Chain A
Amino acid sequence: MTELQAGQEARPLEVPRIDARPQRYRDVLIALAAFAALALLPMIFGSKSLLDFVIRCSAYGLFATSLNLLVGYTGLISFGHGMFFGLGAYGFGLMMQKTGVPIPVAFVATLVITMVVAGVIGAICVRLKEIYFAFVTLAFQMLIHSTILSWQSLTGGDQGLRGGIPRPPFLGIDLSNHLHLYIMSCALLVIGLLLMRQIAQSPFGYTLRMIRDNATRASFIGIDVWRAKLTIFVLAALFASAGGMIMALFVSGAYPEFAYWTISGEGIFINMLGGVTTFLGPMVGTVLLLILNDTVTRLTEYHGIVLGIVILFFAIGLRKGLMDFVVEWIAQRREKAGG
């Protein structure tokens, strides 16, 4: 090494600071465009089923993407995420039926309840790792499901919340109008996804990735792993709860099935289908699963076999989700074109 070279090496390292703002603006722009496109949809297609489909996509999409914050970004495989979906549906439905408060108040209050419950459950669960974490979340889910079933005077037991959910109009929005409900669901979906994207791209989001890859190292450089895990557990619960509220409005009720383990299973399946390495993977998975479900159940009552084969195809055949596959394929093409 010459002196000159050594001198050059000795200069203080210039750390390139990435300005996050342009990316944030880009995300907001994409969100606005997506919302505009969704809002225009009813004007182009008159099909009410399409609106139903998008409303359900919003509910499941928020749920599955929030689950991906845990599974994909933090490495916390939660088998009990469905409890917050159910909690949202029941919290909101009960609030509207029993108290008659305006919808936004019930919405916020349900989020607060979810936050408290998720805080307590999370504080216990996130201490555990891997399979233990998965099983304890599953256990809490079954506890909540059993509570819903047995607290009949409040929840209506296995018959669910009956008598419909009242929807007094607020700020000119009347959720008993199907179009208003549709626009509202789209807005919640887009805002929810945007917020989750910001969480994922923030320094906190990168902390989560680090915890996923090596929790010990993260803790050695001074990160409070437990607190970070708990924070994301609670945040993910809030989005799942919002998804549950959309579902409660769609079916105008809440049923114990919303808090059953099968909902969590569907969330995991959606993530497998769409892929956990990209942010939009779960959203793509949601659309895929719902299309698959709706078309297959139309054609045959042996939908279980068809869906099972699809899972096998993705799990054993592709060994990754659809979006992972697409992203890899694009990268390969770029490489070829470049090389």
Chain B
Amino acid sequence: MKKTRKPGISRRATLALMGAGAVSVAAPWVARAQAKMIKIGMPTILSGRVAQLGTSSRNAVLLEVEKVNAAGGLAGRQIEMVIRDSKGQPQEAARVARELVNTDGCEMLFDGEASSGSFAVHEVARDLGVLCIHTCSEASSLTADPKQHIPNAFRCVRQGIHDSIVGASYAAGIAKAKGLKKWATCSPDYAYGRDTTGEFVLYLKKFAPDVEIISESWPKLFQPDYTEVVTKILQAKPQALYSCLWGGDLTSYIDQANIYAMFSQMEVFAVNMADYTALTVVKNLPKGIHSGDRYIKTFPPTPENAAWGDAYKAKYNEYPTNWSWQNATAVMFLDAAVKKAGSTDGKKVAEALTGLTIKCPFGADGTVTMRAEDRTLVGYAIGWGTTIPQEPYVPDVKAGDWTTIFELEAEWKKSKGYT
């Protein structure tokens, strides 16, 4: 029989040798690349009814991280985001956060959780001592309550109390000008709805003492049918209505209230209207709804903000949300803090972050600050305006005054026993 295989090194052996050679040459490179990488973990909500919170947060983070990486990364280390779904369950949020740090080797956390999940991640940060920036939870107590203070956790998010102060002072101005004395409220029946409405009413009465609340409605969160609520409000015949419904609840409510021509019968103040997620979904957006700014690319009216909004739209084919600008700001803060600290060490970065002021497209005066005393975001653009049915939706937003916000916020903290 004729031998087909020639003596000497076979093709397989050659290939194996080449492979081994390549691995041994590449190994130090791979190892160095890994050491240079810095992983940032982010538990957020990517499934279920509020999945948009997670997806629009993720989009914004990735958009900004790309820029930081292109500019050389964090102290020379490229950022790798590890973003994982918590399904909006606090126990999952805690588990995912721990897994990100303990297994995936993330050195920092962005907490893209809402409400209870953010408190769960906060406890993980307390336990593991890892640097954590909350980017979605608007619950004021997360940073106002001194029991929550830990040196390694920050909040880069707007706050319910700030919105209420600005909203009430804006609404009081209109109430006085138009003589709106009889008010109704309609807000979702859970902590956020109750707290925000309570604070709004408190400050509205402070600024315009002759205002009177004649009707209150508390529809359930994610309620599909608002007929009874709408008819109840119409029967009470108020001159103005306040609502902090949000997202799908707000858009369903407006669509259903439109049938009863509610918006021509009273002035409506809906704090969460001016967000593209709501503005673009409502079938017939009524003219003249008063709303706080969530995210709108015309406010603050700067070219930087408009450019950022357009860049986001160009990349993802949808407008950013309120969560988007907050997450983008968190990346900007982190970048600036690492530059200031000259290191990616969590403790040093945390020290640098405390009290840090950075240039930012979403700042009221072009800058935002991570206030030192409670490690929370202040100085962001906050204001109210009225809607029109087409772009730019809220053409003219009246900016809130941060001096008043600080003054009343301090009073509020005292009244809650926080200071």
* Residues of A bordering B, CB below 8 Å: 47-49, 52, 56, 149, 152, 156-160, 162-164, 176, 178, 247, 250-253, 255-258, 262, 294, 297-298, 301-304
Contact (Cβ within 8 A) A252 B126: yes
Contact (Cβ within 8 A) B99 A294: yes
Residues from chain B with a CB closer than 8 A to the CB of A176 are: 127
A302 vs B141: C-alpha distance when bound (angstroms): 33
Residues from chain A with a CB closer than 8 A to the CB of B141 are: 159, 162
List the one stretch of B5-13, B85-93, B227-235 in contact with chain A. B85-93
Q: Closest 7 A-B residue pairs measured CB to CB?
A: A157-B191, A163-B147, A252-B123, A48-B102, A255-B90, A301-B46, A251-B94
Interface residues as binary, B136-152 with A (CB distance below 8 Å gives 1, 0 otherwise): 00010100010110000
Interface residues as binary, B15-31 with A (CB distance below 8 Å gives 1, 0 otherwise): 00000000000000000
Interface residues as binary, B319-342 with A (CB distance below 8 Å gives 1, 0 otherwise): 000000000000000000000000
Contact (Cβ within 8 A) B119 A162: yes
Contact (Cβ within 8 A) B102 A257: no
Looking at chain A's contact residues, the main secondary structure is: helix
CB of B115 closer than 8 Å to a CB of A: yes
Work out how many contacts link A and B, with CB atoms closer than 8 A: 95
Number of chain B interface residues as a range: 20 to 34
Contact (Cβ within 8 A) B194 A304: no
A255 vs B117: C-alpha distance when bound (angstroms): 9
Contact (Cβ within 8 A) A159 B85: no
CB of B95 closer than 8 Å to a CB of A: yes
* Among candidates B47, B123, B127, residue contacting A303 with C-beta atoms closer than 8 Å: B47
| Least CB separation from A89: chain B residue | B91
Min C-beta distance of A97 to chain B, whole Å: 10
Interface centre among A56, A158, A250 (most CB of B within 10 A): A158
Which B174-229 residues have a C-beta within 8 angstroms of A?
A: 190-192, 194
Contact (Cβ within 8 A) A56 B95: yes
Contact (Cβ within 8 A) B91 A301: no
CB of B297 closer than 8 Å to a CB of A: no
Which B251-283 residues have a C-beta within 8 angstroms of A?
A: none
Contact (Cβ within 8 A) B191 A257: no
Known: A163-B145, A303-B47. Contact between A255 and B120, CB under 8 A? yes
Residues from chain B with a CB closer than 8 A to the CB of A257 are: 89-91, 116
CB of B398 closer than 8 Å to a CB of A: no
Known: A52-B95, A251-B91, A303-B47. Contact between A158 and B115, CB under 8 A? yes
A89 vs B70: C-alpha distance when bound (angstroms): 46
CB of B98 closer than 8 Å to a CB of A: yes
Contact (Cβ within 8 A) A251 B148: no
Contact (Cβ within 8 A) B89 A162: no
